[in-house]
Amino acid sequence: MKLNRIINDPDLVVEDAIEGYVAAHPELFAKTDHERVLKYPAIPQKGKVGIVTGGGSGHEPAFLGYVGKNMVDAVAIGEIFSSPTAGAFLDAMKASDGGAGVACLYGNYAGDNMNVKMAVKKAAAAGITVKTVVANDDVASAPITEREKRRGVAGEILMWKVGGAAAAAGYDLDGVIAAAQKAIDNCRSIGVGLSSCIIPAVGHPNFNIDNGMMEVGIGHHGEPGINVVPLQPAKEMAHTMLEPILKEGIFEAGSEVVVLVSGLGATPTMELYIYYAEVDRILKEKGVKVHRSYVGNYFTSLEMMGVTLSMMKLDDELKKLVDAPVHSLGMVQG
């Protein structure tokens, strides 16, 4: 199996895509001296905490699609499904530093952890204070007792939204970090994979899901899930995915939540809404109130079929920050 793709050179897909992003949206993206770092043109903004993230490519609109007004200031861009370099993270930190320090809000993967850690050290040596929040919202990747092992998935978007809004509202670095940490602490996610994807430079499927089967708890790069089961109707799939999330015990009756349903790339939008309808129904039955919902391709894995469900419990502060205006490719709110 080899996919028909719209590319030039499979080894240059990231470079070529970056050219397209910058050409299409000059109001959102400015190049920097580092070819794998893009920044929001209006930054650094003096006195504002800088917001940095980064990660592997292939998850578009994540990560670079969340660069924008009141969200991420600069992004370090990795190869497909690979961490950006420490140098890219460092240059993103430098690009976004307006003198008030930088919050690096990223996902819990070995490569990212290592490279961010190195970049934070080098930034400190250059006089820039960087503090970090590591997203670990994927309930399927480890038990709650080992939360530090859990992967960061689409809940990262809500962390960026909250952190970005806090920085825009004038929070200091510790305040931004606390808000972003609270966002991810109150967030839980899980994914279901229905088909694999093919990394262009590799040319064969990353993994395999048989016809008629689905993998519950699959990661954004095809990391193994909890189990592989026969494909369920949307209604049952919603139950299967909500169960481990609700078991965490943070979403009680009366809670107000944000729900984010993301396709993994190739699942038609209408299926995401069919799925959302079931999630919404179950949450209503449980007395959990959906304050705001996002449904679409927010965090993908090339052309995988499947869906991820993320939920964040709100308090007054998180609600205000989630509701704040934002302008990025992946998320626009007036």
Angle at 177 between CA 171 and CA 179, to 5 degrees: 70
Phi first, then psi, for residue 12 (nearest 5°) are -125, 20
The two three-digit tokens of residue 80, written as one number = 């497909």
The two three-digit tokens of residue 300, written as one number = 């993908």
Helices 173-185 and 316-323 pack at an angle, to 10 degrees, of 100
Sole binder of a second copy in the list 233, 249, 285, 316 (CB under 8 A):
233
Interface residues for a second copy in 301-330 (CB under 8 A)? 302-303, 305-307, 325, 327, 329
Parallel, antiparallel, or unpaired: how do β-strands 102-107 and 130-135 relate? Answer: parallel
Residue 293 makes contact with a second copy by CB under 8 A: yes
User: Which residues belong to the active site?
Assistant: 59, 221
Sole binder of a second copy in the list 178, 229, 231, 324 (CB under 8 A):
231
CB of 89 to a second copy, least distance (A): 20
> Among residues 108 and 297, whose Cβ is nearest to a second copy?
297
Residue 55 makes contact with a second copy by CB under 8 A: no
78, 36 contact by CB (below 8 A): yes
Residue 273 makes contact with a second copy by CB under 8 A: yes
One-letter amino acid for residue 237 of the chain: M
Residue 5 makes contact with a second copy by CB under 8 A: yes
Helices and strands of the chain, counted as H and E runs: 8, 15
> Among residues 274 and 324, whose Cβ is nearest to a second copy?
274
Number of other residues whose CB lies within 10 A of the CB of residue 249: 7
How many residues touch a second copy under the rule CB under 8 A: the total is 69
Binding footprint of a second copy on the chain (CB under 8 A): 2-9, 13-14, 16-21, 23-25, 57-58, 60-61, 65, 194-195, 209, 211-214, 231, 233-235, 237, 261, 265-278, 280-281, 293, 295-297, 300, 302-303, 305-307, 325, 327, 329, 332-334
